[in-house]
Every structure is written in structure tokens, then in C-alpha cells.
Amino acid sequence: MLLESHSVRYECQDGIAIITLNEPDSLNALSNQIKKDLLKWVEMAETDPEVKIIILTGTGKAFSAGGDVRGMGKRTTLESVEKITNTTKIILRIAELQKPVIAAVNGYAMGAGFSLALAADIVIAQVNSKFGLSFSKVGLIPDCGLLHFLPKIVGPWKAKEWIFSGAVLSAEEAKQYGIVNRLVEEGEALNEATVLAKELASRPLQTMVFVKSIMEKVQNQDLRATIQYENYAQAVLQQTEDHLEGVTAFKEKRKPNFIGK
């Protein structure tokens, strides 16, 4: 079965649902349409009794370039809250899916795109992939659960170093620190994810369901609580002069001049 909207493609075969972000011209940045379609297909995969494993991937050079910068620097506080809430609904939905989710990272996973990959249970990345934490460069903090996921994997001190400096990690670095499960050659992320998905689909699904549920419940931090803090801070920061300067500098391809306001 193949279902396709303008922004996201959904394919289901042999118990595996492949959900592909399909706006390559914008590097699969999380536009309103991508978010709407992605949520719809994720919910379809969750409720379809034939689906056992879900794969998330992207077309073109990117898994997802993260938030859509076209609207940054122009939103009111209420608009910012609404936008980030709509985005985090997807992260929560993916992270809380009972079925295993594999992220097949085929290129750039930047900002919220990094969060989207981390919301999956297993991450397979091509050697040309990059994982970006460029939030500080536009006067913002990581969001979409990244402050929940990343410290759990690499520890709070390394996470803070990367976040403060706006680091961009190579696929090799991400593998070294446990962010990526498997590294594959360029163009092979989806193939490798499909091979693994077929293997997992032959396993007892309810075993994996209980493992996911219990592991999430016994963690010290709660994803929903972390996201609430992130959303509040992000809405406030989007009204600062430094955020506006960061967005302007990004669009003008120059170094930002932050003033601390």
C-alpha cells in the first residue's frame, strides 16, 4: 500500500510502515503541512493491526533540517506557543508509540530534526549525516524533547557543551556517543533500516511493547514535563532581540551580533 500527500509519503508492506518526509527542496524542514501529514500517518501506523515496525526517513539530502525558519522573528508569544505545541505533539506521539520506531537518517538532522530522530527507538545513519544543535545561534534553546533525550544518552555535561556551542556532530561522533546505533554508507540508511525492521517484525511484538513502556517509565526525567519547560522558554526567547538578530543573520548569511537582550 502506498499513500502519498504533497509533503509526506506512507508505504506499508510486510508489516513495516515507511513514513518519508517529502519536501526535499526545504531539506524536509518541519512545515505546517509536513507536521499535519506526519501526525496523520504516524497515527495510521499505530492503529493499523498489520503494522509491526515503523521507519521514519526523508528524501533528498536531509532527514529533516528542523524548524521552518521562514516564520521566525515574526511570531507573537501566543503564535510561538501554538507552533511549538503543534510540533511537540508529533515528538510525543512518536516517542509514546507502542510499536518500535526506526529512524533512517539519510543526511542532515538539524534542530527539531535531531529531536525527531531521537524520538525513535533505534537510529541508523549514513556516514554523510550531520546532527545539529544550532539553537544558540538564533538565540533559542533546544526543544521538541531534545533536552530530555540528549542528556540521557550522552550525560548532562557533554550535552551542555554541545548545546552552548551550537555544535554540529558528524555521524561518526554521534555513533561514538551512542546517539546512532548503526552507521551505513551513503544512500543505504533506508535499506539497512528495512532489513532490521524485517528482522524485528518476526519477533514477538508485545515483548517489544512492554520493553518500551517500562524503560520510559523508569527513567528519572519525564518527557512531557521537559517539553512543558522547553515550550515556555522557547516562547519567551522568541520575543528577544537576540533571537531576531540570530534569524536575520542566518538569512543574511553572516555572523550574528548578540547583545544579551
What does each C-alpha distance from 142 to 36, 53, 137, 153 come to in angstroms?
Answer: 22, 28, 11, 15
CA–CA distance, 173 with 155 (Å, rounded to integer): 15
Q: Grid coordinates in use for 183?
A: 552507521
| Position 196 in a domain | no
pTM value is 0.86
Who's near 235: CB < 8 A, 6+ residues apart?
Answer: 77, 80, 81, 84
Domain assignment present for residue 67? The answer is yes
pLDDT at 45: 96
Q: What's 7's domain CATH number?
A: 3.90.226.10
Contact present, 30 and 87 (Cβ < 8 Å): yes
Structural domain that includes position 43 = 2-190+201-206
pLDDT at 18: 97
Q: Indicate whether 168 belongs to any domain.
A: yes
Domain count, the chain: 1
**Eight-class DSSP state of 221:** S
CA angle 39, 44, 47 (to 5 degrees): 125
Does the CA dihedral 129-135-136-138 come out positive or negative? positive
Q: Is residue 259 part of a domain?
A: no
Shortest CA distance to 179 belongs to which of 141, 123, 140? 123
Residue 254 lies in a domain: no
Provide the Cα torsion 223, 51, 126, 71; round to 10°: -50
pLDDT of residue 228: 84
The closest alpha carbon to 183, from 109, 130, 124, belongs to 124
Q: Is residue 235 part of a domain?
A: no
Q: Is residue 65 part of a domain?
A: yes
Tens of each residue's pLDDT in the chain, 261 residues: 677 677 999 999 999 999 999 999 999 999 889 999 999 999 999 999 999 999 999 999 999 998 766 655 566 777 767 777 888 899 999 999 999 999 999 999 999 999 999 999 999 999 999 999 988 888 888 889 999 999 999 999 999 999 999 999 999 999 999 999 999 999 999 999 999 999 999 888 888 888 888 887 777 567 788 888 888 888 888 888 888 888 888 889 898 887 877
Give the count of beta carbons closer than 10 Å to the beta carbon of residue 220: 6
Answer yes or no: is 8 within a domain: yes
